[in-house]
Amino acid sequence: MDNNIFTTANLCLMTGNANPELAKKIADYIGVDIFETFVGKFNNGETQVMIGDSIRGKDIFIIQPTSQPVNDNLMELLIMADACKRASAHSITAVVPYYAYARQDRKTRGREPISAKLVANLMVTAGMSRILTVDLHAGQIQGFFDIPVDHLAAAPVFADYFNEHDFGGELVVVSPDLGGVTRARNLADFLKAPIAIIEKRRPRPGEAEVMSIIGDVKDKVALMIDDIVDTAGSLCEGAKALKRLGAKSVLAACSHGVLSKNAVEKINNSDIEKIVITDTIALPPEKQSEKIVVLSMAKSIGDVILRIQSRRSVSQLFR
């Protein structure tokens, strides 16, 4: 990075409590300090935000994934934005590497909310002027916002990691469902590999049942790609099916490591040899495993922040 190209004089990075480690990495890459901001709680449990110094006329970037505890982290983000707006900030960009409620993006039965749209409305109402996020569960969520959305993909970061390994031409990128084909194709293009598709159904929320696999996986190194690993049920069942159909080994790459309930235990006991995630969600010590590799999105996010700040094209980074 050539710092002479960019201007950081008016740039102000803030972070809540969701992922301060990622915020620090981004700040170090950009070459700025994280602005002094207290984000805590009052005695009654309400979120308290105090900004340490004047931010009048500043371009604010609030780094705050809405990961677990989802509602606490979301409220921190909204209240921080409101505080910045009332302190006469010039612009407020919400850097939300993991966007919560993204799987509630449509009505699948009567009397259901579209929570992803509600969260978008809340962010705009709180004063956000731009959103920067990573691998939305559904790209159409960008249309829920009436402000600019910069939508980063983790595929280049994954590709850099897997291109360091020699798979001898035996790698095949596998989409765990029909809806993830575009994501799989994107990574496959980076890795110059073919793709396969797992056809599955969900008998109940949070459960997946593999029906069939489209494509050739026999004697291949199968790399499953998904945006979220939550309970890990889909990945583990997919890995079992891939091994049953003759895959030599099974790897996985998922942008957001939610890893709820006993997901890590499932992964440790599964046919998956290695699962690669990013640091969009902080990985606590109790969820760490020899099978889990964490890659950082700090450089990718930092480059976008610098281009936004210096009014340069962001789309060039997506090519």
Active-site positions read: 200
CA–CA gap between residue 138 and residue 116 (Å, rounded): 10
* Beta carbons of 132 and 96 less than 8 angstroms apart: yes
Cα dihedral 71→179→110→120 (10° resolution): 40
DSSP 290-318: TTEEEE--HHHHHHHHHHHHTT--SGGGG
Q: Which amino acid is at 187?
A: L
Radius of gyration of the chain (CA): 20
Q: How many CA atoms lie within 13 A of 35 on its CB side?
A: 25
Between helix 181-191 and helix 155-162 the angle, nearest 10°, is: 40
CA–CA distance, 93 with 181 (Å, rounded to integer): 30
